[in-house]
Amino acid sequence: KAGVTQTPRYLIKTRGQQVTLSCSPISGHRSVSWYQQTPGQGLQFLFEYFSETQRNKGNFPGRFSGRQFSNSRSEMNVSTLELGDSALYLCASSRETGSNYGYTFGSGTRLTVV
């Protein structure tokens, strides 16, 4: 059974550019969430999607956005990149919203903004 797939694994971008990250959840998982992980702040929730609808959003500026497609694949976009956006971006999927079974994380996308 394939796990959560994130692409690309690594990205280097310049300040002011925008970036799109992709996440394919485990087959049958309809809930996809995104997290940002930095050494200083740890894992911070970005947003959650279920059945193409954003159900919850974390405390990030509007430059961070996302969407989910009908096949449950999700993308997140960061516009006008800042140096502080350098982080590991993790996608996670779960069977259904409201479950107690926790997430399965993908391998992440390491974004470096220079």
Partner 1 sequence: QKEVEQNSGPLSVPEGAIASLNCTYSDRGSQSFFWYRQYSGKSPELIMFIYSNGDKEDGRFTAQLNKASQYVSLLIRDSQPSDSATYLCAVKSQGGSEKLVFGKGTKLTVNP
Residues that bind partner 1 (CB under 8 A): 31, 33, 35, 41-45, 48, 50, 55-56, 58, 90, 94, 97-108
Of 95, 108, 96, residue with least CA distance to 11: 108
> Please, what is the minimum distance in Å from the beta carbon of residue 17 to partner 1?
25
Between 27 and 99, whose beta carbon lies closer to partner 1?
Answer: 99
> Please, what is the minimum distance in Å from the beta carbon of residue 86 to partner 1?
16
> Please, what is the minimum distance in Å from the beta carbon of residue 14 to partner 1?
25
Between 22 and 79, whose beta carbon lies closer to partner 1?
Answer: 22
Cis peptide before 8 (omega within 30 of 0): yes
Through-space distance between the first and last CA atoms of the chain, rounded to whole angstroms: 37
